[in-house]
Amino acid sequence: MNELNKNAFLVNEKLSTLMSKYAIPCIISLLVAALYNIVDQIFIANASYLGSYGNAANTVVFPLTIIALAIAVMIGDGCCAFVSICLGAKNTDSAHKSIGNAIVLTVISSLILTIIYFIFQTSIIHAFGGGVNEKTFMHSQEYFMYITMGIPFYMFGQAMNPIIRSDGSPQFAMAATVIGAIINIILDPIFIFIFKRGMMGAAVATVLGQIITAVLSIWYLCHMKAIHLEKDSFTLNFGLIKKFIPLGICSFLSQISLVAAMAAINNMIRKYGALDPVFSQPQYAQIPMAVVGIVMKFFQIVISICVGMAAGCIPIVGYNVGAKRYDRAKKLFIYLLVGEAIVGFVATLIVEFFPTQLISIFGAANESMIYTDFAVKSFRVYLCTMVLATVNKSAFIYLQSLGKALLSTALSMIREVIFGVGFALILPLFFGLDGVLYSMPVSDALTFVISIICIIYIFKLLDRDHKKQYKRRENNE
């Protein structure tokens, strides 16, 4: 088969089939990426010698892995969208060069980030609330050091994942991530419960899994199907970089915003927790941070499903837009919106009706009723608008897949920075510790108004382009 035609099935195959083929592996890959840290937290929480102190330490370090993930997905998703458009337009030269450039960028950025983390370790831990008490700070330092060692492997595996999908191999992309996660899940209880290595054991198990994922990704890059890397693929071409990096900005913001929000939230928790009659007591000071960290981890699972569905559609949308099949792009958007709303609705039912069961997974049996009561309240309030959150996210990422990087970025900035961080800082001024919990639903409700306008715009845009293409065909005939 001609290399240019290997991905032609993207304009011919049934959309529901394509969505399942691409979205499900992408969802699993992102879920597994999120589960690296979440699995660590589950085992840490259930180790009586770590408990809520280890939980809080995990919450402190979690944003640092998200920063690495944000940079990786910016490069990987941007390259994936650009490569898909190139293949749809039958431009393989730009496709292989953009992948080579993405690889070089990932390696360079991961090494720079690792060096920054090691140099500013203590300041970073304090910035994310690690100084809430001495024991939490000690656990944070230990976990931070070993997780930082694995940053280059983690970033490489995550950046290459969408690129592998763009080559028409979503199943391999999924398998590479899943295998690494399975290794982490196997080693975590061994290191934590058998060898009693605590935070270090959890971190080392994670890093070993990430190394395996990176090695499998390297193997695939040497055996690509639709694209073949050449020596000149790895020569930095800033013209190409300027084309594909903006397409990944939305993915970057969707991740980095969580870091900004957690920095704001953790510091507000530390400030207003100290004013609370219960959590101002030294033995309970770490509870709000540990609990909100757990709640945000559950939200990360839901958002991973949401982003996975949308990001999985990027190669399909990109190829169809490149091939000028705007009718299929519109239909796929409808499928995506319905799917995202269902995910958000089911997730909301879970947190509203089963919060006690959720918190029990994270070692509530080893904690006081104060811990459990605050956790139940946090789940029910903080995550009550997840239906809106999933629809918001899908609309913004879909704009990215259409090549509307600037608009997608601007809308994401409004949600994630202006609303997300802004309300996390403002609402506690009026509602104290509860204000932290109110920040999420208020942000998502206001963003939903913008999303409705965005959805209408996308429909009109695709209808207009479809009509133009239809007229061209009529004139040619």
DSSP states along 180-200:
HHHHHHHHHHIIIIIS--HHH
DSSP 8-class letter at 12: T
Residue 160 lies in a domain: yes
Residue 3 lies in a domain: no
Q: Are the C-beta atoms of residues 422 and 260 closer than 8 Å to each other?
A: no
288 vs 341: CA distance, rounded Å: 30
Residue 149 lies in a domain: yes
Residue 10 lies in a domain: no
Given pLDDT bands bounded at 50, 70 and 90, which one contains residue 91? confident
Q: Give how far the C-alpha of residue 324 lies from the chain's centroid of Cα atoms, to the nearest Å.
A: 30
Residue 476 above 70 pLDDT? no
How does pLDDT run across 283-337, given as a tens digit for each residue? 788 888 888 888 988 888 898 899 888 888 888 887 888 778 888 888 888 999 9
Residue 197 lies in a domain: yes
pTM score of the predicted model: 0.75
Choose among 376, 348, 199: nearest CA to 287. Answer: 376
Measured over the CA atoms of residue 362, residue 368, residue 374 and residue 380, the dihedral's sign is positive
How does pLDDT run across 377-428, given as a tens digit for each residue? 999 999 999 999 999 988 888 887 777 777 877 887 888 788 988 999 999 9
Angle at the Cα of 324 from the Cα atoms of 243 and 316, rounded to 5 degrees: 70
Residue 58 lies in a domain: yes
Residue 12 lies in a domain: no
Choose among 287, 277, 384, 399: nearest CA to 337. Answer: 399
How does pLDDT run across 188-204, given as a tens digit for each residue? 999 999 999 999 999 99
DSSP 8-class letter at 131: G
How does pLDDT run across 115-141, given as a tens digit for each residue? 999 999 999 999 888 887 888 899 999
Q: Domain tally for the chain?
A: 1
The residue range of the domain holding 106 is: 19-472
Q: Which long-range contacts (CB under 8 A, 24 or more apart) does 138-141 make?
A: 139/50, 139/53, 139/54, 139/56, 139/57, 139/198, 139/199, 140/56, 140/57, 140/60, 140/61
Half-sphere exposure of 248 (CA within 13 A, CB side): 27
Torsion angle of C-alpha atoms 285, 287, 290, 291, degrees rounded to 10: -140
Residue 339 lies in a domain: yes
